[in-house]
Amino acid sequence: MKDAKVFLIAVLVLVVSGIPLMASEYRADEVIVKFKNRQAQAASAMTLSEERPISIAVDDADRAIAELKSNPDIEYVEPNYVIEAETVPADWPYIGQWADMELESAWNFIDDRGPGEQVIVAVIDSGVDLAHPDLQGALIPGYDFANRDASPEDDAGHGTKVCGILGALGNNGTGIAGVAWDVNMVIMPLKFMKNNDGKTTGNLSDAIDAIYYAVDHGATVINASWGFTSYSRALEDAITYAKDHGVLFIASAGNAGQDNDVSDHYPSNYTLDNIIAVAALDSDGELALFSNYGTNSVDIAAPGVGITTTTLNGAYVSWASGTSFATPFVAGIAAMVLSQSPTLEYASVRNIILNTAVKNAAVPEDLRVASGGCVNAYDALMAEEAYDPSSQATPTPGGSDTAEAPSSGGGGGGGCLIDVTRTTGNYTCFIVFMIMIVLFQINRKKDLG
C-alpha cells in the first residue's frame, strides 16, 4: 500500500510539472463552430456557400463550448485562438553570404523561357504597404479580414516584409528584388493580423476565412508565415479545402528552436500533403539557432537570417530574421515552377521542390529537416522539365545569353512564431483532484485496516 501511495504521488508530481500553466490564448467572447448540415447552419441565421466553420459571438467561450459539444447538429466546436506574430530581433548577429540557391541561374532560365503563365500567391498575414514603390504592379486586390474591408493596408510591417521577399520588383534601379521578380506572378494580400499595442496579432477564425477566400479567388499558392501550438480542426479543414482545390500551402516551421517532431506547431505540423514546412538557414548555410526543425514534420530550409526586404512607408529593412521570411523563398520558387508548367498538380510541385533540395557541402551535419537541404531555384526549374514534357528550353547556368541579375538583396526570412497561450488550469485541477481522491481512499483503507 505504501508503494502504491508513493507511486501516485510521483504521478501527481509528473502530471503537474508536465502541464504548462499557460498554453493557447483564445477569445472569451467567440467560438468556432462547424455545423453538420446546411439546415442546421441556416437555422443559426449564418449561411455560406459551403459547409464551413464559422465564428459566433458568445458570452463565455468555455461554457459555450461545453454546451455546444452536446448539440447533435454540431460537428465540432473549438476556441477562437489568438495568433501573435513574434519576429526575431532585427539585430540578429549574422553576417556573410547566403547559401547558394542558384537564384541568378533560375532568373536566367526564366529570361530564356519567358515569364510564363500567371500565378496568384496569396500572402495571408498582416497585409501590405499598398503604396510601396517596390511592390507596384506586383499586387492584386485582396481583403482585410481583421477590419472587414477591402483595403488590406499593413499597420504592423510583417506582411510587407514577406511580400517584398516574394515579389519585390527587380532591375528597376531601386530597393531590392524578390525571389520571383521576373515571373508572371501576382500577390494577393489577405490581412488577418494587425498591430495591437505593439504586437502583431490576429484571430484564428479570420485566418481560416482568408484561406477559403484565397482558394475561391484563384490562388494556387498560399504563403502562411505564422504558426501556433494548439491543434485546430477548423484550420485543418480549411487547408484540406485548399488541397482539394489543388492549392499548395507553404508554412513557416516556427522560431522556438524546437523539434517539431516532438512539440507541435501548426499549421506546419498537419500531415496534409499540400503543405511544405520551412525552416530557416543562417548565412553560412546552417540551421538558424532559433529555427524549429524536425526530420518528419519540417520539409525544407531556406535563408532566414538578416534579410533585406520591404517595410512600411515605402522603406526597407536590412535585418529581418526568422522562418517567416524563409517561407516566401519557397513560395516564390513554387511560383517559378508553376509559371512554367501551370498544369502541374500541387503534389508534383511539392515533390520537385523537396527532391531538388541541396545540402551545403561545408556543413556535414544533417540540417534536421526531411529533405536534408536548402531549396534550390534552378534545380527545381530543371526538374520541372522532367515533370512537364512540353517544356523545351534547357539553358545552362551562367550562359552568355542571360538576363542581368538584379542588384539587390532578396533573401531569407523574417521569423514569425505565432505562439498562442491557453489557460489549462481547469484540466490540471481536475487531474490533481482525482489523484487526491485516490490518495484519500488509500489512506482511509489503511486507517480502517
pLDDT digits (tens, 9 = 90+) for 14-46: 333 333 333 568 888 899 999 987 555 554 444
What nine digits make up the cell of 440? 484519500
Ramachandran assignment for 157, one of left (phi > 0), alpha (psi -120 to 50 degrees), beta (any other)? left
Per residue in 143-158, pLDDT tens?
999 999 999 999 999 9
Nearest to 180 by CA among 82, 250, 232: 250
Over residues 180-194, the mean pLDDT reads 96
Residues 49, 176 within the same domain: no
Residues 42, 126 within the same domain: no
Q: Is residue 436 a part of any domain in this protein? A: yes
Give the dihedral sign, CA 215/220/225/229. positive
Residues 219, 326 within the same domain: yes
Distance in angstroms (rounded) separating the CA atoms of residues 294 and 263: 10
> For the chain, how many residues are written?
449
Nearest to 226 by CA among 198, 274, 261, 194: 194
What nine digits make up the cell of 255? 522560431
Query: Please, are residues 24 and 230 in contact by the beta-carbon 8 Å criterion?
Result: yes
Look up the CATH number of the domain holding residue 66.
3.30.70
Q: Is residue 18 a part of any domain in this protein? A: no
Give the dihedral sign, CA 16/18/20/24. negative
Over residues 400-408, the mean pLDDT reads 34
Please determine, for residue 137, whether its predicted confidence score (pLDDT) is greater than 60.
yes
Instruction: Name the burial class of residue 437, with classes exposed (0-12), middle (13-18) and buried (19+) by CB atoms within 10 angstroms of its CB.
Output: exposed
Question: What's the longest Cα–Cα distance across the chain?
Answer: 95
Please determine, for residue 218, whether its predicted confidence score (pLDDT) is greater than 70.
yes
Q: Is residue 281 a part of any domain in this protein? A: yes
Nearest to 225 by CA among 192, 183, 263, 272: 192
Q: Is residue 9 a part of any domain in this protein? A: no
Tell me how far apart the terminal alpha carbons of the chain are, to the nearest angstrom: 11
Distance in angstroms (rounded) separating the CA atoms of residues 408 and 427: 52
Over residues 347-372, the mean pLDDT reads 86
pLDDT at 413: 30
Q: How confident is the model at residue 362 (pLDDT cuts 50, 70, 90)?
A: low
Please determine, for residue 377, whether its predicted confidence score (pLDDT) is greater than 80.
yes
Distance in angstroms (rounded) separating the CA atoms of residues 351 and 380: 9
The residues assigned a catalytic role are: 125, 158, 324
Residues 73, 91 within the same domain: no
Nearest to 420 by CA among 236, 267, 315: 267
From residue 4, give the alpha-carbon distance in Å to each of 225, 288, 430, 432, 443: 49, 46, 20, 16, 11
Residues 67, 106 within the same domain: no
pTM: 0.80
Please determine, for residue 327, whether its predicted confidence score (pLDDT) is greater than 50.
yes
Last residue of a domain, one of 387, 409, 430: 387
Residues 114, 30 within the same domain: no
Q: Which helix (H) or strand (E) holds 242?
A: helix 233-244
What nine digits make up the cell of 73? 447538429
Domains of the chain: total: 2
Query: Please, are residues 418 and 252 in contact by the beta-carbon 8 Å criterion?
Result: no
Please give the mean pLDDT across all residues of the chain: 80
User: Considering only 174-188, 234-248, 386-400, which range has the smallest mean pLDDT?
Assistant: 386-400
The residue among 17 and 368 whose pLDDT is bigger is 368
Residues 65, 125 within the same domain: no
Residues 374, 440 within the same domain: no
Q: How confident is the model at residue 173 (pLDDT cuts 50, 70, 90)?
A: confident
Which phi and psi angles does 112 have, rounded to 5°? -70, -40
* 106 three-class SS: helix
Per residue in 302-317, pLDDT tens?
999 989 999 999 999 9
Name the residue range of residue 383's domain: 86-387
The DSSP string of 197-222 is TTEEEEEHHHHHHHHHHHHHTT-SEE
Distance in angstroms (rounded) separating the CA atoms of residues 231 and 133: 39
Q: Is residue 337 a part of any domain in this protein? A: yes
Residues 75, 111 within the same domain: no
Last residue of a domain, one of 387, 410, 431: 387
pLDDT at 171: 84
Q: How confident is the model at residue 86 (pLDDT cuts 50, 70, 90)?
A: very low
Q: Is residue 13 a part of any domain in this protein? A: no
Residues 303, 377 within the same domain: yes
Query: Please, are residues 405 and 399 in contact by the beta-carbon 8 Å criterion?
Result: no
Q: Is residue 190 a part of any domain in this protein? A: yes
Q: How confident is the model at residue 96 (pLDDT cuts 50, 70, 90)?
A: very low
Q: How confident is the model at residue 71 (pLDDT cuts 50, 70, 90)?
A: very high
Look up the CATH number of the domain holding residue 122.
3.40.50.200
Residues 290, 171 within the same domain: yes
Q: Is residue 408 a part of any domain in this protein? A: no
Query: What are the residues facing 123 on neighbouring strands?
Result: 189, 223
Over residues 88-110, the mean pLDDT reads 61
Single-letter code of the amino acid located at 282: D
Q: CA angle, corner 207, sides to 201 and 210, nearest 5? A: 135
Over residues 65-85, the mean pLDDT reads 88
Residues 73, 194 within the same domain: no
% of the chain surpassing 90 pLDDT: 58
Please determine, for residue 289, whether its predicted confidence score (pLDDT) is greater than 90.
yes
Contacts 24+ apart (CB under 8 A), 38-46: 40/73, 40/74, 43/73
